[in-house]
Amino acid sequence: MVQASKRSLLKGAAAAVGAAAFAPQLFAQAKPVRIGYAIARTGPWTGGAQISQEPNYLLWAEQVNAAGGLDVKGVRRPIELVSSDDRSDIETCVRSYEKLMGSDKVDLILPPWGSNANFAVAPLANRFGYPMLAPTALSRKLVEMKLPYFFLLLQQPDRMVGALVDMLVANGVKTLAVIYVDDLFGLENYAALKIALRSTNIQLVEEKSYPGDIKDLSPVLRAIKDKNPDAFIGLSYPPDTILASKQSKEIGFNPKFYYASVGTAFQLYKNVMTPAGAEGVLGMGSWNSKTSPAAKAYFDAHTKKFAGKEPDRWASGHCWAALEILQAAVAKAGLDRKAIRDYVAATTHKTIIGDIQFTASENTATPGTVGQWQNGEFEVVWPVKSATAKLNPNKPAWK
C-alpha cells in the first residue's frame, strides 16, 4: 500500500547514479531540463491534487524520458522534476515557487493545484516571467487579472454553468434548487448561474450556501425535497459532492436532473455510490476515453502506471492537454520562456480534449460541457456536438 512514487523515485535515483558511473557519455551531452512545482501531498487539497494533477506530471515525465527526452528545439534532453509538498498551505506554496524561480532557477514550472493556490502563485510567475498553464483553476477573477504568462485550461464558471442551463432549458425544466459551497469556487459559480438563469423561465425554488467542512446536508436536502424541483444543482467539492449524493439517496430525493460539481467525474464517485447508484447523475466533466484516440491512449497509460487508478473525466484531461501544449511549445521555442509564452498565446493547440485556444488567459475554444454517469462511465452529454453519449433526461432512482 506504500505509495509507489517513493519507491520509483529511489529506483530512478539508483539507476541514474549507476548510469552516471558506468556510462557518463549518456549524460555528457544531455543536460536535463529542470521543471519545478509544488503540490499538495498532505492536507485538505491532496484529494484533488493527487487525482487530477500530480499523477499526470509523473506520467508525462516518464513517457517523455522513455521516448528519449524532451525535444528542445530539436535536441532531446531528459526531464528532471524538482518537486515538493506544499502541505495545502498557500504560504508554503508561494515560498516554494519563489525558491524554484528565484534561487533554484529551474527551466520551467508546472502549476500548483486549485483556484486558491493558482491565485497566489500566478502573479509571482508572471513577475519572474515563467509561463504557467493551470489545469485546476476556475475563477473569472484570475482572467480579469490579465497576467500575460498565465493560462487557464478549464472552462470558466460562465461556460460550465451556461452549458448546464442550456441543457436544462432544452429539456423543459421549470423549477430548480441549488446549494453551493461558500468559497471562491461556489460563489463564482453561483453568481454565474444566477446570470445564466436570467434569460430563462426557470424558477429558483431554493438556494442555500454551506461551509466546506459540512457533515450533514440532510436538513437542507429534506427542505428541497418538499419543494419537489425538476432539477437540483450542487456547486460542490468532492467530499460534499459525495455527502449530498449519499444523503439524497438516504432521504429519497431523486429529481429528474441531479447535478453535482467537482468530484462527480472521479473514479471515487463510482466506487462510493456503486455504478448502479451513480447512474444518471450529472456533473462537471468534459472528456473520457471515447473523446479521441489520444485520450484513450492517455487514459490507458494512466490506469496502467497507477495500478488501476483512473484519471478524472474533467481536470485530468485538461492537465494532460496543458502538458501537451508545453511540450509542443518547447519543441518550437526552446527554453526561451518569453518565446514559449508567445507560442502558447498565439497558437491553436491540438490536444486530447480537442482544440484549445487562448484569448488572453482564458481557454475560449473548449465549450462548456455537462457529464453524466451512464453504465459505469462518465459520458459527456452536452453540448450535443461534444457528446460521447446521449443525455438521459430522467434520472433513475438511487440504488
Partner 1 sequence: MSVSAWLELLASGLITGGIYALVALGLNLQYGLMRILNIAHGEFLMVGAYLTWMAQTTLGMSPLWMVPVSFAVMMALGVLIHWLTFRRLSATSPNLDIFEARGLMVSFGLMFLVQNFASWMWGGDLRGYDYLTDPVPLGAAQFAGNKLLVFALALLFSAALIFVLRHTLLGKGVRALMQSPTGAQLVGIDTQRLHPLMFGIGLGLSGVAGCLLSMAYTISPSMGEPYTVTALIVITLGGFGSMGGALAGGLLLGVIEALGMHFSNPSLKALLSYSVFIAVLLLRPRGLFAK
Q: Which residues bind partner 1 (CB under 8 A)?
A: 1-3, 40-44, 46-47, 49-51, 88, 179, 182, 208-211, 213-220, 222-223, 226, 238-239, 242-243, 246-247, 249-252, 263, 266, 268, 271-274, 277
Mapped onto helix, strand or coil, the DSSP state of residue 127 is helix
Q: Which is nearer to partner 1, 190 or 343 (CB)?
A: 190
CB of 392 to partner 1, least distance (A): 21
- Cβ proximity to partner 1: between 99 and 249 the closer is 249
Nearest distance from residue 375's CB to partner 1, in Å?
17
Strand 349-351 with 354-356, pairing: antiparallel
CB of 272 to partner 1, least distance (A): 4
**Which residues sit opposite 152 in a β-bridge?**
134, 362
User: At closest approach, how far in Å is the CB of 274 from partner 1?
Assistant: 5
- Find the shortest distance in angstroms from Cβ 208 to partner 1: 6
Task: Yes or no: say if 164 and 259 are a contact pair by the CB < 8 Å rule.
Answer: yes
Least distance in angstroms from the C-beta of 135 to partner 1: 18
Query: 70 pairs with which residues across the strands?
Result: 77
Least distance from C-beta 303 to partner 1, angstroms? Answer: 15
Question: What is the rounded distance in angstroms from the CA atom of residue 353 to the CA atom of residue 14?
Answer: 36
Looking at the Cβ atoms of 161 and 244, the one nearer to partner 1 is: 244
Task: Specify the 3-state DSSP secondary structure of 77.
Answer: strand
Could you tell me which residues come within 8 angstroms of residue 197 by beta carbon, excluding any fewer than 6 positions away?
Answer: 165, 176, 204
The Cβ of residue 350 has, within 10 Å, a number of other Cβ atoms equal to 14
**C-beta closer to partner 1: residue 50 or 155:** 50
Please, which residue, 140 or 246, has the CB nearer to partner 1?
246
Residue 45: strand pairing partners: none
User: Residues with Cβ < 8 Å from 292, sequence gap 6 or more?
Assistant: 352, 353, 354
Per-residue three-class SS string for 141-188: HHHHCCCCCEEECCCCHHHHHHHHHHHHHHCCCCEEEEEEECCHHHHH
The CA distance from 352 to 64, in Å, is 16
We find the least distance from the C-beta atom of residue 45 to partner 1, in angstroms, to be 8
Nearer to partner 1, 1 or 21 (CB): 1
Q: Does residue 271 contact residue 289 with C-beta atoms inside 8 Å?
A: no
Closest alpha carbon to 177 in 232, 230, 249: 232
DSSP category for residue 384: G
For residues 272 and 331, which CB has a smaller minimum distance to partner 1 in the complex? 272
Using the structure block, give the residue that is written with the C-alpha cell 468559497. Answer: 183
Provide the residue count of the chain: 399
Query: Is 236 in contact with 210 (CB distance < 8 Å)?
Result: no
* Nearer CB in complex with partner 1: 215/385: 215
Residue type, 78: P
Return the number of the residue (130 or 253) whose C-beta is nearest partner 1: 253
Name the minimum Å distance from CB 299 to partner 1. 18
Q: 90-98 and 115-128 helices cross at what angle (nearest 10)?
A: 20
Residue 218 CB, nearest approach to partner 1 (Å) = 5
For partner 1, the closer CB: 151 or 253: 253
